[in-house]
Structure 1
Amino acid sequence: MATVDITGEQFASTIEDNDIVLVDFWAAWCSPCRQFAPTYGAASEKHTDVVFAKVDTEAEQQLAAEAGITSIPTLMAFREKVLVFSQPGALNGPQLEQVIEAVKGLDMEEVHAHVAKARAEAQEN
């Protein structure tokens, strides 16, 4: 599967409707973003079970702000609607592969339990 460009209107549904979603926040003027694009594209062809989304931070400034993007490129990974990875900076092929395999290998029962516990503690305070 190739990468897909998403907008603010599509962001939530993309996360909700897919098991694993990687999101690359980028801009055309950003040299590291342009260098990362072929690596990201190649990974999207290899891992057809993962959605590889791209958000143009210039066109989607509100979404970038809501996502807390302060540096680009920033890569986020969601699994079962949970943000499980977020890191600014371009990754090389092996690093990206390591992130993808780690996301695929997560024990999501444990992750959901941790999220539920954190939410409960936040509501108590």
Structure 2
Amino acid sequence: MNSPDDSDLLVACLCAAWCGTCRDYAAGFHALAERFPGARFLWLDVEDEADLLDDYDVENFPTLLIQRGDAVLFFGTMLPHHELLERTVRAFASMTPDESRHYAQADATRRTWQHDRNLRRALAERDGDA
């Protein structure tokens, strides 16, 4: 069986240093990143990255954002169970780019994410790559 294509995946955990759940989640999140070497895994503290994330209104931790190319596929709180995140990342990695785009546009909430939660675009703008 072919392994999923993770080369255009962005998996970001939006967290806070003061959050005990986030601290407990960090080691497993970083270990999961090693299982998807082509994906970009980011650990972003909402206070340290306030200029980047202030508009995201993160209220619960950990909040995950998963993006494939420009398609935002998931944005929300995910219980700190690494096996759930791994299954989610594998499912998104197994989609074709067309399936990802279709999934991202399949309902009103996800369509809103494409404009309001496009972290890849926000990072490029911040870093001057836009």
Normalising by structure 1, we get a TM-score of 0.70
Q: How does 1:110-121 map to 2 (within 5 A)?
A: 110-113=99-102
Q: Number of aligned pairs?
A: 103
Q: Which position in structure 1 is the counterpart of 2:66?
A: 77
User: What amino acid sits opposite 1:67 in the alignment?
Assistant: Y
Name the stretch that deviates more: 71-80 or 81-90. 81-90
Q: Which position in structure 1 is the counterpart of 2:35?
A: 46
Q: Which position in structure 2 is the counterpart of 1:62?
A: 51
Identity of aligned residues (%): 23
Task: Answer with 1 or 2: which has the greater Rg.
Answer: 1
Q: Which position in structure 2 is the counterpart of 1:21?
A: 10
- Contact between 1:33 and 1:90, CA under 8 Å: does it hold in 2? no
How many Å apart are 1:117 and its aligned residue? 8.2
What root-mean-square deviation, in Å, do the aligned CA atoms of Structure 1 and Structure 2 show? 2.5
- Contact between 1:39 and 1:93, CA under 8 Å: does it hold in 2? yes
How many Å apart are 1:87 and its aligned residue? 2.2
Partner secondary structure for residue 71 of structure 1: coil
How many Å apart are 1:68 and its aligned residue? 3.1
Q: Which runs of 5+ in 1 are unaligned?
A: 1-17
Q: Which runs of 5+ in 2 are unaligned?
A: 1-6, 112-130
- Contact between 1:19 and 1:81, CA under 8 Å: does it hold in 2? no
Partner secondary structure for residue 21 of structure 1: strand
TM-aligned CA distance change 1:111 to 1:100, over 3 Å:
closer
Partner secondary structure for residue 32 of structure 2: helix
